[in-house]
Amino acid sequence: MSYARRFYALLALSLSGLSAQASSVVCHITYGGETRHVTAMPVVSPYEVNATQVGSYFLFRAVVQDSPADIAAIKLYVYGDTDAGPVPIHQVDYSYPPNTPAKTQFGFTGLHRVYEKIRDGELEYWCEFLPVRKSTK
């Protein structure tokens, strides 16, 4: 294995260890009687985050930026997936880290319901913040 390959392999391994130590946001999305979980990790640029398809109409996107401090935020978006492209129908911002208690019934967001009138669809979601647990060693 060449030096460059070993260097990049070690770099990737060390970065994967760092990401495992990052705080995350887990969103619980219910649509059509099915609940799924979307985990969002901090990103450098919000443009790196793709939306997740939920059913045939909704797209859900969770963006977590933990730095720089002046723009750190958690931003949640729901789009309608139309023939003309995604259309934003719901968006909410929270501070990072959230300043609400972690152990509430519907996390730091509370329960959100987003309706789609053409197909009579309803998407429900709530998100929780999972901070990095500090070692007690």
Task: Give the domain range for residue 110.
Answer: 23-130
Number of domains in the chain: 1
In a domain, 76, yes or no: yes
In a domain, 87, yes or no: yes
Nearest CA to 72 out of 12, 23, 109 is that of: 23
The pLDDT tens digits for 25-80 are: 999 999 999 999 999 999 999 999 999 999 999 999 999 999 999 999 999 999 99
The pLDDT tens digits for 70-111 are: 999 999 999 999 999 999 999 999 999 998 765 789 999 999
How many other β-carbons are positioned within 10 Å of the β-carbon of residue 59? 20
* pLDDT value of residue 133: 72
In a domain, 136, yes or no: no
**Higher per-residue pLDDT: 4 or 87:** 87
